[in-house]
Structure 1
């Protein structure tokens, strides 16, 4: 015998199907029209540092390749955690991007973040720069050996500024201390730029930051670079020895990239990838990067970029097994 259910009208089901189809079509249309309003690029550090400079240069060059502008928004704090959390939790529609740096690969390893590097979807890596150990030109140390020897003395209080507790620049100094037996007093700031300003003002004795963040001050004769944490000498810093040349096996630095929240539509990601590839070829951007000593080291292949991050995360995990960055 036919049941009551068998006599129900199919119209409600048809209506639901049509509604769902309409929603899907609307979503596809929105992705196809992307972007229809300005895009926010969140920089998780204060203005003036390497990440901020890279982001603003990229945003300015991208105007030729996107119908809407990219607006840089600084959200500093907790070595990048505040800004990245903001993007991770944002609506995945392509209107909020993150300027990522190497810290995203290890903040969870030191208990500073609950997210990992794979909680964002990478678009591309824009550049990469090594860490450099820098002092004022009136400092008593003219070589890395002299600097390390001073930090080995009993009751030494060599103050080294960084971009925040748990940042790569904190890790760089701590790793140098681990490799050499030196002892530093780590002074955290809200980014590389404030740390450099503190050094210029005499509030710290040295900083470990990226080469672009100090290039202008070194050229002006205000600061002196003692060593770079790279496998070979760096353009613009040709007279500065690598740590490996000084018998210290240590390579550390940062990179800057673009990422979006997980779940961002593939069509939106495709638009961003295409625009990024074109933007990074802009002669004006590349000229500015070279003038500011930013190493042009792009990686537009997301899979390759993810593989690099996984590899880097493992390398830093090994360093962290010997270095304590945060108080337990």
Structure 2
């Protein structure tokens, strides 16, 4: 029932027609304020990152940028609003990881291919983290222990089907270990459970374990990134340890399909200048948000691989719609 209601609501949002007169003249763009849709609630990580970026982009576009939160359906409502917007450049959206995790579950009738990526802004890679006194100090030792104790390793996540549930599933799939996935209402409760010895590990982001790792209460065994984390340079990546895994929660900007190329170029230029600004970089650092830029072409390639990885893992976890 929940799936039918959600799909019906999304389908209703697609109906309607757009007159040719509503499209802006490219040479005059922008002539009015721009709306940026955020699929998540005000005050959350996605929202604050987007608002900080928009403040800087206004300086280069010469028009105000209004951030509008369209929430619901685990991100489905907002993502659909971006997709269904008039492709005149006056509506931009912040797309997030859930754009690739909702389709395999049959919760939305679209994929990343129905959007026109503008740029990737942020990634926070998953990190395998355990208690300080755990009997393994490397990813290899963790895998060896898990294989000799099948089903004994419990890994906490931030809800069934969440980004960190999928990260743990991908790790287990790539290393061939059997683990038990334990859901919590968010990453922080999972980290608290790890500290209390109620679970054996978490596969959440570095910012979510940073304080306890720096305090020496937890130890990070590896990060699912192409490079080591700046705050923990002694911690190797999964790839450095022989496990070919990259996995992130991510955020980026996208447009509805059909925005004229020159308008898209103006938007990309303005938001890239905003991304490069000292003010935005300082904000992101204070918020512990890992900036990671990709242009439209590279972001599209990233989305394609991420979609394939997520789809495969969700099938292995029994979360994909059959």
Q: TM-score, normalised by structure 2?
A: 0.73
Q: How far, CA to CA, are the matches of 2:149 and 2:120 in structure 1?
A: 41
1:310 aligned onto 2:304? yes
User: Does the residue aligned with 2:60 lie in a helix, a strand or coil?
Assistant: coil
Structure 1 unaligned blocks of 5 or more? 1-22
Aligned residue for 2:23? 27
1:176 aligned onto 2:168? no
Q: Is the contact between residue 56 and residue 72 of structure 1 (CA under 8 Å) also seen in structure 2? A: no
Quote how far apart the aligned CAs of 1:325 are: 3.1
1:243 aligned onto 2:238? yes
1:64 aligned onto 2:59? yes
Distance 1:87 1:221, change over 3 A: farther
Aligned residue for 1:200? 192
- Equivalent pairs, count: 298
Q: Deviations over 1:194-252 (max 9, x none)?
A: 32255236697443233344445544666543321124422222122322344433222
Quote how far apart the aligned CAs of 1:276 are: 0.8
1:41 aligned onto 2:37? yes
Q: How far, CA to CA, are the matches of 1:305 and 1:251 in structure 2?
A: 15
Q: How far, CA to CA, are the matches of 2:51 and 2:148 in structure 1?
A: 40
Q: Deviations over 1:170-205 (max 9, x none)?
A: 21111122224131224164xxxx322552366974
Aligned residue for 2:116? 121
Q: Is the contact between residue 165 and residue 326 of structure 1 (CA under 8 Å) also seen in structure 2? A: no
**Correspondences of 1:103-182 after superposition (within 5 Å):** 103-105=98-100, 107-135=102-130, 144=139, 149=145, 153=149, 156=152, 158-162=154-158, 164-178=159-173, 179-182=175-178
Aligned residue for 1:261? 256
User: Does the residue aligned with 1:118 lie in a helix, a strand or coil?
Assistant: helix
Per mean C-alpha deviation after superposition, the further-off stretch among 126-135 and 220-229 is: 220-229
Q: How far, CA to CA, are the matches of 2:193 and 2:315 in structure 1?
A: 34
Q: Is the contact between residue 191 and residue 209 of structure 2 (CA under 8 Å) also seen in structure 1? A: no
Q: TM-score, normalised by structure 1?
A: 0.72
Q: Deviations over 1:69-123 (max 9, x none)?
A: 3425262543x33331232233444444322234434542343432111111111
RMSD (Å), alpha carbons: 3.7
Q: Which one has the largest radius of gyration? A: 1
